[in-house]
């Protein structure tokens, strides 16, 4: 039985299917202890909901820009920018092209964010990019993508696409960020030892201070990291492991972005590290 639902992008015209994780946490909002849940959506907004009933609490932007909406009202409805919606096609002609940010690959996509009970922060593997997008007459061709739209992914900043961002769910403020030249397409792990781990397409597994965002350690795995780091305890020692092997949606759909990182080494390996005591 479905107890409640909340739709992050009503009448979605940008392919912002928000199928990514909803993480439960507890916090005090305006002096009231609440059972909450958080979600960093493909549409570029970080949502906090009352997980007991689905009631909207807040939505705050966690990317550089959102051209499709200027924010959310008190009822949890997006304030849509009409000029940012791609035009409807006719039977024979494509609709008007618009520039939209984030791109359909998302402010955050499948890669899971992490939450730390110790800091009270969420750690979001985000991307700052946009797209030219247009709708077109749907034509089925066996073996070809059946989209009804066309798009070209484009960078929107000179110094980065990926950005690991620490978000405070109580204020909606970004506490710190680490910018990465290539898109971030791997998951994030936080530990009780005040560490945050994530990988990069450039091949590095990196560890950051969970409170400050200072980069503390990195290791070159030889291929782009798309996997999610995991940790466990064994024989009194703590280990961290990650899969390394470039691929996925960015090289397949990335347009101008994909061209920038076409020479990343292919590979498929599991790397395991032991944390020093």
Q: Kindly report, residue by residue over 3-54, the tens digit of the pLDDT.
A: 999 999 999 999 999 888 999 999 998 899 999 999 999 999 999 999 999 9
Q: Tell whether the model's pLDDT for residue 277 goes beyond 80.
A: no
Residue 257 to residue 30: CA distance in whole angstroms = 42
pLDDT beyond 90 at 253: no
**Distance in Å from the first CA to the final CA of the chain:** 47
Helix or strand run (H / E) with residue 19 = none
Rounded Cα distance, 16 and 231, in Å: 31
84 vs 91: CA distance, rounded Å: 22
Supply the pLDDT for residue 20: 87
Split at pLDDT 50, 70, 90, the class of 251 is: confident
Whole-angstrom CA distances from 112 to 27, 134, 183, 229, 236 are: 21, 29, 14, 10, 27
Q: Looking at residue 256, what is its pLDDT?
A: 84
CB 101 within 8 A of CB 67: yes
Mean pLDDT of 101-111: 96
- Could you tell me which residues come within 8 angstroms of residue 134 by beta carbon, excluding any fewer than 6 positions away? 86, 87, 89, 94, 95, 96, 97, 98, 149, 150, 151
Per-residue pLDDT at 258: 85
Per-residue pLDDT at 68 exceeds 90: yes
Q: Which own/partner contact pairs does 88-95 have at CB distance under 8 Å and 24+ positions apart?
A: 88/135, 89/134, 89/135, 89/136, 89/137, 89/148, 90/137, 91/137, 92/137, 93/137, 94/134, 94/135, 94/136, 94/137, 94/150, 95/134, 95/135, 95/136
Rounded Cα gap, residues 205 and 222, in angstroms: 10
Average pLDDT of span 214-243? 96
For residue 89, what pLDDT is reported?
A: 93
How many whole angstroms separate alpha carbon 167 and alpha carbon 63? 11
**Active site amino acids:** 15
Average pLDDT over every residue of 233-241? 96
Q: Which domains does the chain show, CATH number per domain?
A: 23-274 (2.140.10.10)
Residue 145 neighbours by CB distance under 10 Å: 9
Count of beta carbons in the 10 Å neighbourhood of residue 126: 28
- Percent with pLDDT over 70 in the chain: 100
Mean pLDDT, all residues of the chain:
95
């Amino acid at each position: 039985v479905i107890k409640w639902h909340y739709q992050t992008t009503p009448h979605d015209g940008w392919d912002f299917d928000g199928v990514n994780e909803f993480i439960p946490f507890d916090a005090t909002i305006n002096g009231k202890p609440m059972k909450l849940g958080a979600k960093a959506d493909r549409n570029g907004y970080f949502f906090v909901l009352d997980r007991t009933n689905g009631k909207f609490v807040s939505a705050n932007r966690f990317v550089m820009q959102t051209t499709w909406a200027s924010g959310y009202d008190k009822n949890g409805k997006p304030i849509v920018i009409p000029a940012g919606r791609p035009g409807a096609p006719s039977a024979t002609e494509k609709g008007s092209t618009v520039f939209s940010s984030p791109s359909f690959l998302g402010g955050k996509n499948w890669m899971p964010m992490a939450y730390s009970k110790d800091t009270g922060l969420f750690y979001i593997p985000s991307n700052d990019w946009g797209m030219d997008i247009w709708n077109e007459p749907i034509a089925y061709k066996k073996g070809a993508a059946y989209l009804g739209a066309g798009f070209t992914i484009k960078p929107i900043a000179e110094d980065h696409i990926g950005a690991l961002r620490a978000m405070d769910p109580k204020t909606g403020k970004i506490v710190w960020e680490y910018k990465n030249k290539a898109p971030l397409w791997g998951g994030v792990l936080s530990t009780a030892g005040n560490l945050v781990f994530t990988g990069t397409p450039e091949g590095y597994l990196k560890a950051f201070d969970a409170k400050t965002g200072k980069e503390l350690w990195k290791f070159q795995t030889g291929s782009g990291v798309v996997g999610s780091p995991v940790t466990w305890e064994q024989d009194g020692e703590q280990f961290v492991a990650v899969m390394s092997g470039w691929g996925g949606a960015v090289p397949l759909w990335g347009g101008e972005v994909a061209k920038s990182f076409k020479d990343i080494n292919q590979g498929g390996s599991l790397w395991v590290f032991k944390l020093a005591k």
